[in-house]
Amino acid sequence: MRLLQHTDCDCSLIQKYIADEAHHYISRLAQDQQSLLHH
């Protein structure tokens, strides 16, 4: 969770990592929701 303290930092590498992780998290949530709906 300490990584989230970098959200106001201008480091593009950290910003890209956070954006990628957020995208992966949302994708996993959507997949989980789809699998629940189809059972």
Over its length of 39 residues, how does the chain's per-residue pLDDT go in tens digits? Answer: 566 665 566 788 888 888 999 999 999 999 988 888 876
Residue 33 and residue 37: Cα distance in Å, rounded? 6
What's the confidence (pLDDT) of residue 3? 60
What's the confidence (pLDDT) of residue 15? 83
What's the confidence (pLDDT) of residue 7? 59
What's the confidence (pLDDT) of residue 33? 87
What's the confidence (pLDDT) of residue 23? 95
Residue from 37, 7, 34, 38 nearest 22 by CA:
7
Report yes or no: 14 and 25 within 8 Å, Cβ to Cβ.
no
What's the confidence (pLDDT) of residue 39? 65
